[in-house]
Amino acid sequence: MAQLPKPRIGRKTRRKTIDGKPLVYEVVEEDCFVAPSNKRKAFCLHKLRFEGGREEFRIAYYMIAEKPRMRGKWAWGQFAPMMTAGEMRMIFQRAQQKGWI
């Protein structure tokens, strides 16, 4: 199995928001681990710091790729929601209330 990719700590990302405004953030803390249920999937918890100092969190993932160019390597998951600490807390509280965790 491929070793997990290099940490993203310190990596700055520049992109645009859904309405076209610039968005710049840096990964300041990270915890990535292989999923116990599927050794071909890894989850990452990222603490992000945006320009201006605002902090949010991201739940991201990697999968072992199947397409020829990346076959056998960890590929970054396309969808990775970002949220405030309060939003993340609310998500986990709701899952607990439902008895899911």
Residue 3 within any structural domain of the chain:
no
Look at residues 76, 93, 90, 22 and name the one whose alpha carbon lies nearest to residue 51.
22
Q: What is the pLDDT of residue 1?
A: 61
- Domain membership of residue 2 (yes or no) is no
Q: pTM for this one?
A: 0.83
Provide, rounded to the nearest whole percent, the portion of the chain with pLDDT above 90: 89
* 40-85 pLDDT per residue, tens: 999 999 999 999 999 999 999 999 999 999 999 999 998 899 999 9
Length of the chain: 101
Judge whether 39 lies within some domain. Answer: yes
Asked if the structure places residue 81 within a domain, the reply is yes
Q: Are the C-beta atoms of 36 and 56 separated by less than 8 Å? A: no
CA distance 88 to 64: 26
33 occurs within a structural domain: yes
Q: Which domain holds residue 84?
A: 12-97
What is residue 3's predicted lDDT score, i.e. its pLDDT?
86
The reply to whether 7 falls in a domain is no
Asked whether residue 18 is assigned to any structural domain, the reply reads: yes
- Residue 30 burial (10 A CB sphere; 0-12, 13-18, 19+): middle
pLDDT value at residue 78? 85
What confidence tier does 5 reach under pLDDT thresholds 50, 70, 90?
Answer: confident
- Residue 50 located in a structural domain: yes
Q: What total of structural domains would you count in the chain?
A: 1
**Strand 74-76 to 82-83 pairing:** unpaired
